[in-house]
Structure 1
Amino acid sequence: MTVRAPGPGTVQVPGPGTVQVPGRGSWIRDLGLGIRFAAAGGREGWARTALTALGVGLGVALLFFAASVPRAIDAREARTHARATLEELSGTPVERSDTTLVWAEAGTEYRGESVGGRFLRPDGSRPPLPPGVAKPPGPHEMLVSPALRELLASPGGALLKERLGHRITGTIGDPGLLDPEELYFYAGSDTLTVARGGQRTAGYGDRGAPDPMEPLLVVLVVLIAVVLLVPVTIFIATAVRFGGDRRDRRLAALRLVGADIRTTRRIAAGEALFGAVLGVLTGFLLFLAARPAAGGVRLWSLSAFPADLVPVPALAALVAVGVPAAAVAVTLVALRSVTIEPLGVVRSTVPRRRRLWWRLLPPVAGVVVLARVGIVDESSVAVDPYPIAAGAILVLVGLTTLLPWLVEAVVGGLRGGAVPWQLAVRRLQLGSGSAARAVSGITVAVAGAIALQMVSTGVHQAFLHPTGEDPARADIAVSAPYGSGELAQRMIDGFRDTPGVKRVVGTVESFVIRPGRVAADEIQPTTSLTVGSCATLRELAELPSCRDGDAFVSHLTGRKEQNDWTDRTARPGERVDLNPRSVDDGSSSLLWTLPASARTVPARKDPVGRETDGILATPGAVDTELLAMASTRATIRTDDRVPDAEEYVRNTAARLDPTARIWTVKAVERDAKYASVRKGLLIGGTATMGLIAASMLVSQIEQLRERRRLMSVLVAFGTRRSTLAWSVLWQTAVPVVLGTVLATAGGLTLGVVLLRMVAKPFTDWWVFLPFAGAGAAVILLVTLASLPPLWRMTRPEGLRSE
């Protein structure tokens, strides 16, 4: 007996019966026929293909940007190393020559923005030049980045212009900047010396190896990548199914003329392939169009040069090949549940109820995979990112399989209500699959964001380092790299007269040793020396009385061993060495006798949280100009009620000593790598949420196109357009609300599992509220944006049919 399957392109299989199965030629021919239908399907066909290409293109463009992130990070690292001096990390001293220069950090902050910069003073006629600089700036001249030039020329940069105070003579080129929006400058100096805080270099381009990333950060980065990219891939899979209802009716016509079911599925896959290929091309064009504008976009204080945004070839090839292949696979899988007959499609009737058991397998498998990873904490040496990524992907993708079942189960029992509500519910009851697919991206994004926020909050404390500083006593600290009592007094006087300053404490700090030789196996007794006025010293220790010319020995509370070491060095009535040439041989350069009247006093924490032990002396007791290895410090308390008080302080510091280092007093300091990861999360989250909003809008418009004739008929029979608008809102809101509930449950579950993996506690169970609010905002925006097309599609012209 011979069994023949109708349709073209079959091959004979030997055996007792002959069964015709599709060959490679059949696949190519049927895919090509589907491409022809998509390309020559008239206005309707091109509209459907355009929607698919636009939807896929948006996701592909974001994937291309994501594939460019590794290159952009490498380029930023290379730029950072290129402008680092050769001696910056090695610490090797450089002899002065015609090819060296002296430099010093000159960076500052302005209204929360970091402004980097350096002072330069060439030693000869052929100094090394930083990247992006063709000629070193002369004294009182300055080279600036384009962004800094623009800021200084604006009214908002007046205070910063006063602080820098140099004449702009040129612009730093792109090779010398980390990103197009970086605020950076090089200023010339004729007074900078090594003795006054400068450093000498013979060149630029340090290639120091980057520090390895901590295991907790690896977990966070992997989770960020999954949370940002899984919604994109789901959206692309949804976009290739635009126009499914019209496609099914067209495939029914093919069945009527003799095509078998497999042929129609391959033809449908060809249509999806054509739309996906156009989508890849559209995404590439969108990427190229948006790439030049990337330099002008600054998100969360980060941007990138367009030239640095180059996709990794392997990742770009994976996107270019994977997206069309996924489109074909998604179409074939979707059509397996559809019976296309010559006279219609079974989907037009009430479909079979969805089963739950197999939809629970992916999230359960994901939880099991994550549970088997083990504990990852600060003591972990390394972590394998692949099981973490696989487990998180299984959980998030499992939510997309659960959402259609949940929507069907809930809307199936809804009855009654206002007319818009009944229209929306009836539409969801007849076909909830497309509505669930439309919001699957936002469901995954919200679930991932909840889990990511839980993990980020859990590991947050691990990347906060207590500084011991007390912001209640001081806001700003200033340090000059050399000791000068005269500078300390000028700091006190200058800052005291600065608008917004309430209190100033200025000191000169150095160290002293006990003179004389010691045994080879002993350490030369050493302690610190702090010089300041009586008012200043009272901030550092509990003084019974004080007048100029007094000296004290400060002890730390509960530190007997340290205090004994201090007493070995600082003995009242005996000499100490203020400027030791060599600690090893005990030779001295300047001996000073600690007054016999020096009293021992308990130390107290200074405004930046330090306890100062050793010798405390007033200017009348020690001439600070003789201290060769000292530094000058000042701590300042500002008035919060004075606007720009910190900027006034920075301007004063720049006038007193341009090389002075200024920093804000903080109780805790955040790890720099963790801060950069957080910024990356905010940037990626913003882009993903924008894509989700765009995808929902495209899906909404596609669904309106599918039902425009029905809506036109309803309007023609007297249905108000506002009723249709409310029904569209409810059709979107119901799946999103259910998706948000599912995302909350899934996100909290994933977050708890991940927190157990990193051995961190979690207490804020209301973390999902902001993300639920973001989902509601997306619904509102998409509905408002879909109203103009709705009004246009419900005109009487919509009743026309071809």
Structure 2
Amino acid sequence: MTRRLAELALGAKFAFTGGREGWIRTLLTALGVGLGVALLFAAASIPHVNQASSARGDARVPAASGGKKAFERTDSSVLFDMVGTEYRGESIGGLLLRPEGKHPVVPPGLGALPGPGEMAASPALRDLLDSPKGELLRARLPYKVTASIGDAGLLDPTELFFYAGSSTLTEASGAARTNAFGGEVEKLPLNPVLVALTVVACVVLLLPVIIFIATAVRFGGERRDKRLAALRLVGADTGMTRWIAAGEALAGSALGLLVGTALFLFGRELVGGVRFWSFAAFPADFTPAPALAALVLLAVPLAAVVVTLFTMRSVAVEPLGVVRATKPRRRRVWWRLLLPAAGVAVLALSPRAGVDQGVTDPNLVAIGAILTLTGIATLLPWLVEAAVGRLRGGPVAWQLAVRRLQLGGGTASRAVAGITVAVAGAISLQMMTTGIHADFVRTTDQDPSRAQVDVTANFPSGERAQRMIHDFRATKGVQAVIGTVETYATRPGAYTGDQIRPTTSLTVGDCATLAELARVGSCRDGDTFVVHPADDKRLSAWVDQTARPGEAVNLDSTSDYDSSAKPLLWTLPRSARQVLSRPDPMGEHRYGIFATPGAVDVTKLPSAETKAMIKVDRAVPDAAEYVRNTAAAIDPAMHVRTIDNVERDKQYASVQSGLRTGAIATMLLIALSLLVSQIEQLRERRRLLSVLVAFGTRRSSLALSVLWQTAVPVVLGVVLAVAGGTALGVALLDMVGKEVTDWWLFLPLAGTGTVTVLVVTLLSLPPLWRLMRPDGLRTE
């Protein structure tokens, strides 16, 4: 062991004292390894990112009262109400606060509660309000910004959030009381299908990184072998040369760990304030889990030594040279086919995981995906060797490329193995995502053509509810308002024991509004209707028990359980017509008693719920934002939502956002890795390129040969990726009980991989021109 460590140390010394060539080789290895290590550290930080964001979110939630006893008013209690909104597709969270004593509790991120008319805003919200883009939002949040919320009170640096002070907030208006911040938000477990999708995504995104690191530690192999031959000449045996080579790779990977750590620390500062779709985090959140970080720090140098020792077994280092130029032995294919076959078999035999079924074993999913994708990577060198071994003739550039691939196709295959695995994994992920899409993105019964915005508010005053409808109709960009004032109507009388008091709803609106909710036919102010559900006889009978023409109903439900309250009786006219309901723009069927304002004075209703479905003029920019401004002016706690015929599961949307972000990072790494590998290969052949130019070979022919040397393995790799990725996708869909819905998903993904290679080749042309200069013939 002491001797082997000494040989590793000698190899590490050669890596740093081998002159300019040695330093360049070591730096290229370090750069390649560093890129992979930085991405691995980022992946190892995801658990801490989620944990830190979740902890900050829980810390600012007002504590809920426990048991049957609510919080009592104290010197530290605070009244609060949720007053979030939406602005041009961005969600804005907010809390309206009113202290009840001199020492109120303060949410994290603040030093003190904002006073009445004041607001503490997140930095992102503050910037938005100060910019021209926030002009409409300033009218909706008419508070004076007096403080910024600190990092401890925000989920991420791009979050739009605020705390506003109020002097009118009361429990009667819907506020709640708390004496502490630090509740716990209920978190639903991840759907079993999404668990499987997430596991596959992690494998797909990280496996190309690992493959590239294994490729990077083999940079500079040909020039290193010549030096090893010189060591054999002065007395080193075969085993010693292998361990010295491993020491050189170890030195490059160790330096790569430092480079990767530096890139990670620098990169997290850059991306800390950037939002990728719905993903963002503070720089400090990107802290790798200690166990995962230790695994990376140990695995990368160990992999460098193991990979080098393994590859050196096929190289005969002799005192007079390295026996590498002879025709290599044929690669065996049988064991390469076993890997993807075993992976598909593991997925086929794993427990099924449907949307409403039990959770499948994530370990089996990961093993199956790893075996399949690793098998694809190991099949690529054999496929390249088998294909180029039969190629003959053609233009000069083509012959140069083919001959190079015939003599050293393994190097080219390793360079594109990462992109092959990435494309295969992306195809399988896309097939799986498309197959489960219908389970997480469903079509609703809502009709955006009739109305685009739905507004709901609880008001203790029918008069104020009527004013709300009037204000919306006067709002800029509003074409029509389907506005109703609703309350409960119960059958008066004494009910004891288990008797259930017949109850229905009273809906008051003008004739145009009622025509949107029921098939009222002819209508004028003063008319009343008894509306039955179109296809529910049980509910229809329940309506008839309460809504009896010529009989009275009670419009104040508080008297039903409070004997001291006086009932508000109203007689349903005998002229009330029986009609059927129709779905409103929200897709809901309303039934009960319908009345026009001339039949019921809504100003005398003690309590009423107001609903408004608003149709906006799409030609007016920001029409929906004007509606939200009106709603906020009436009541900041009013609930406003967009009417949409498509509903997307939040967990599914979150996983999709993570996939997009990870895919971008992986594709960037693959492009950089190809570029570094391409430059390293060109540098290794600098003397050969200079000789060819000196003998009259056209520079354009050499440039085209470089393109063909990369294009041929990539085309073969994409073909292999399509076949392997499709097989993996079918196995994954079968595991979750779904079928393939689109067999042509691979086309854009295969095109992306091909374009990546073209871009990398173009970027490698400037170094190629420099390497073809005559001074490349200089030697010592």
Interval containing the TM-score (normalised by the shorter chain): over 0.9
Deviations 1:120-149 (A, max 9, x none): 222333322221122222222221111111
Of 189, 192, 195 in structure 2, the residue corresponding to residue 218 of structure 1 is 195
Are 2:758 and 1:780 equivalent residues in the alignment? yes
Q: Is the alpha carbon distance of 1:381 and 1:280 closer, same or farther for their aligned partners in structure 2, counting shifts above 3 Å?
A: same
Deviations 1:154-207 (A, max 9, x none): 222222223222221111111111001111112222333333233332221113
- Residue 601 of structure 2 corresponds to which residue in structure 1? 623
Structure 1 residues 4-153: aligned runs within 5 Å: 24-87=1-64, 93-153=70-130
Gaps of 5+ in 1: 1-23
Alpha-carbon distance between aligned partners in 2 of 1:796 and 1:626, rounded to the nearest angstrom: 98
Q: Secondary structure at the match of 1:615?
A: strand
Are 2:277 and 1:300 equivalent residues in the alignment? yes
Structure 1 residues 351-750: aligned runs within 5 Å: 351-482=328-459, 484-581=461-558, 589-597=566-574, 598-750=576-728
Deviations 1:27-80 (A, max 9, x none): 212212211211221111111111111111111111111111001101111111
> Aligned-pair distance for 1:653?
2.4
Deviations 1:502-546 (A, max 9, x none): 221111222232233334233322222222122211111111333
Gaps of 5+ in 2: none
The more displaced of 327-336 and 415-424 is: 415-424
Alpha-carbon distance between aligned partners in 1 of 2:362 and 2:562, rounded to the nearest angstrom: 54
Are 2:161 and 1:166 equivalent residues in the alignment? no
Deviations 1:257-312 (A, max 9, x none): 22222221111111111111111121112112222223222111321111211111
Of 733, 744, 749 in structure 2, the residue corresponding to residue 755 of structure 1 is 733
Q: Is the 8 A contact 1:581 1:587 kept in 2?
A: no
Q: Is the 8 A contact 2:465 2:609 kept in 1?
A: no
Q: Secondary structure at the match of 2:272?
A: helix
The more displaced of 207-216 and 682-691 is: 207-216
Q: Secondary structure at the match of 1:663?
A: strand
Q: Specify the code of the residue in structure 1 equivalent to 2:41.
A: F
Deviations 1:613-635 (A, max 9, x none): 11212233333344455321111
Q: Is the 8 A contact 2:476 2:623 kept in 1?
A: yes
Alpha-carbon distance between aligned partners in 2 of 1:291 and 1:643, rounded to the nearest angstrom: 37
Q: Is the alpha carbon distance of 1:486 and 1:419 closer, same or farther for their aligned partners in structure 2, counting shifts above 3 Å?
A: farther
Q: Secondary structure at the match of 1:431?
A: helix
Q: Secondary structure at the match of 2:459?
A: coil
Q: Is the 8 A contact 2:427 2:749 kept in 1?
A: yes
Q: Is the 8 A contact 2:352 2:360 kept in 1?
A: no
Q: Secondary structure at the match of 1:573?
A: coil
Q: Specify the code of the residue in structure 2 equivalent to 1:327.
A: A
Q: Specify the code of the residue in structure 1 equivalent to 2:742.
A: D
Alpha-carbon distance between aligned partners in 1 of 2:173 and 2:601, rounded to the nearest angstrom: 18
Alpha-carbon distance between aligned partners in 2 of 1:560 and 1:789, rounded to the nearest angstrom: 80
Of 774, 793, 800 in structure 1, the residue corresponding to residue 771 of structure 2 is 793
> Aligned-pair distance for 1:612?
0.2
Q: Secondary structure at the match of 2:583?
A: coil
Alpha-carbon distance between aligned partners in 1 of 2:461 and 2:570, rounded to the nearest angstrom: 20
Q: Is the 8 A contact 1:484 1:632 kept in 2?
A: no
The more displaced of 352-361 and 743-752 is: 352-361
> Aligned-pair distance for 1:663?
0.8
Q: Is the 8 A contact 1:488 1:506 kept in 2?
A: no
Q: Is the alpha carbon distance of 1:559 and 1:511 closer, same or farther for their aligned partners in structure 2, counting shifts above 3 Å?
A: same
Q: How high is the sequence identity, in percent, across the aligned residues?
A: 61
Q: Secondary structure at the match of 2:97?
A: strand
Q: Secondary structure at the match of 1:223?
A: helix
Alpha-carbon distance between aligned partners in 1 of 2:766 and 2:69, rounded to the nearest angstrom: 69
Alpha-carbon distance between aligned partners in 1 of 2:568 and 2:87, rounded to the nearest angstrom: 44
Alpha-carbon distance between aligned partners in 2 of 1:91 and 1:325, rounded to the nearest angstrom: 60
Q: Is the 8 A contact 1:86 1:202 kept in 2?
A: yes
Alpha-carbon distance between aligned partners in 1 of 2:641 and 2:145, rounded to the nearest angstrom: 26
Q: Secondary structure at the match of 1:581?
A: helix
Q: Is the 8 A contact 1:488 1:634 kept in 2?
A: no
Q: Is the alpha carbon distance of 1:98 and 1:342 closer, same or farther for their aligned partners in structure 2, counting shifts above 3 Å?
A: same
Q: Specify the code of the residue in structure 2 equivalent to 1:506.
A: G
- Residue 213 of structure 2 corresponds to which residue in structure 1? 236
Q: TM-score normalized by structure 2?
A: 0.96
Q: Specify the code of the residue in structure 2 equivalent to 1:795.
A: R
Q: TM-score normalized by structure 1?
A: 0.93
Q: Secondary structure at the match of 1:470?
A: coil
The more displaced of 218-227 and 470-479 is: 470-479
Q: Is the alpha carbon distance of 1:106 and 1:379 closer, same or farther for their aligned partners in structure 2, counting shifts above 3 Å?
A: closer
